[in-house]
Amino acid sequence: MYTDVVMEHITNPQNVGELADADGVGEVGSPACGDIMRISIKVEGDRITDARFRTFGCAAAIASSSMATGMVRGKSLIEAWAISNADVVDALGGLPPAKVHCSVLARDAIRAAINDYRTRQGLDAWEMGSCGCCGGSGCGSRPENG
């Protein structure tokens, strides 16, 4: 059912926990299943230097958050925003169709954390559904996979 990469992240999840001195925290719940994911990020300049997660959800959600927190580390805020759930699924080598929504949770938790950082800085929150090509400022573009 799950790829070897997914199984590795399920049995040995990376970046578990919370950053006590987080610059941004995002918590989202899945309307599909009620599971909850919380991601905290550390930002220096325009870059995410650290990211941790706590996920109260299924194995696919844990694998998605483990992978996604690793993917955003070292990326600029715009680059991290532009990571789609399809990118997370690809990095995991695929997810069963019924579990793709779990990767959406990871994307949204990262975006929520970025927006929390922006709000703390006195900046406007980016539109959650935007693709990031314009820095979330509202060009209307949307990634194919939502």
131 is catalytic: no
Task: State how far the Cα of 14 lies from the Cα of 63, in Å rounded to an integer.
Answer: 9
- Minimum distance of ligand FES from residue 30's CB (angstroms): 5
Task: State how far the Cα of 36 lies from the Cα of 34, in Å rounded to an integer.
Answer: 7
Catalytic residue among 33, 58, 131, 134: 33
Task: Give first-to-last CA distance, the chain, whole Å.
Answer: 24
Helix axis angle, 4-11 to 59-72, nearest 10°:
90
- Minimum distance of ligand FES from residue 57's CB (angstroms): 4
- Minimum distance of ligand FES from residue 32's CB (angstroms): 6
Give the residue with the Cβ less far from ligand FES, 72 or 105. Answer: 105
Nearest to 42 by CA among 54, 28, 24, 55: 24
For ligand FES (CB under 6 A), the number of binding residues is 10
Site map (CB under 6 A) of ligand FES, residues 48-87, x = contact: ---------xx-xx--------------------------
Instruction: Give the binding site for ligand FES (CB under 6 A).
Output: 30, 33, 35, 57-58, 60-61, 99, 102, 105
